[in-house]
Amino acid sequence: MDAALHEWNLSPKQAIALQSQLAQRLESRDRIDPVRYIAGVDIGFEEEGAVTRAAVVVLKWSPEAAPQLPVVEQVVHREPTRMPYIPGLLSFREIPAALGAFAKLETRPQLVMVDGQGIAHPRRLGVAAHLGLWLDLPTIGIAKSRLTGTHGAVGDARGDWVPLMADQEVIGAVLRSRENVKPVFVSPGHRLTLETSLEWVLRCLGRTKLPEPTRLADRLASRRDHKASQRRLL
């Protein structure tokens, strides 16, 4: 993140136009360095939306240990929310706090998993895609619900998936990440194909429906008594 990608003081009309421009800059092919660390990101709001909270957990990748990956660093960053809630523009509301959290990290990940959409967005710029451009890192969106697109029935077995389609384009996958549980919606953000995104999500699945990086970020974010903004663990 050597230079600012854009300004944040934008009207909704300007933000929508910018989304379409930024979506053209996304890389849909794999460009990923050897993975040593994976970050999970969860972004939410406090004080009735007045404060944005971003939680980032960094795990050390090890094929032998997966999915039980050790946490090496975790950060919670809070700042005033910059934009009101507008459907389709959530990334402009969430990403400033996420960037604040990443700025506090001592460990730079090679892969980032985000609780949210990647390109599975009406203008193909969900929070994971938008964040990937800011960080210039490979990103994957793992969402609990569908924002846009259509899909067929998903098989019942863990690992079954079907394409998520929009305008005759594959924009993601509907993945059965756990048997007898509603599927998750996986879409590449930046610098990854859908196939590689799915491979990484499956590698990081533990006993729950969410991959460990985003599950742990969600758990960190939900700790109401969390006082330390940063904690180095290893």
Ordered alpha helix ranges (H), the chain: 12-23, 90-104, 127-135, 194-203, 212-221
pLDDT (tens digit per residue) in 24-79:
999 999 999 999 999 999 999 999 999 999 999 999 999 999 999 999 999 999 99
Mean of the per-residue pLDDT values of the chain: 93
| Counted domains in the chain | 1
pLDDT (tens digit per residue) in 115-135:
999 999 999 999 999 999 999
From residue 215, alpha-carbon distances to 73, 85, 143, 148 in Å are: 15, 24, 11, 23
Q: Domain of 124: which CATH number?
A: 3.30.2170.10
Residue 8 lies in a domain: no
Q: How far apart are the first and last CA of the chain?
A: 25
Rounded distance between C-alpha atoms, residue 220 and residue 31, angstroms: 29
Q: What SS3 state is found at 208?
A: coil
Pairing of strands 37-46, 51-60: antiparallel
pLDDT-derived band at 2 (thresholds 50, 70, 90) equals low
Rounded distance between C-alpha atoms, residue 229 and residue 234, angstroms: 16
pLDDT given for residue 221 in this prediction: 87
Residue 25 lies in a domain: no
pTM confidence score: 0.93
Parent domain of 41: 31-232
pLDDT (tens digit per residue) in 192-221:
999 999 999 999 999 999 999 999 999 998
Residue 140 lies in a domain: yes
Residue 15 lies in a domain: no
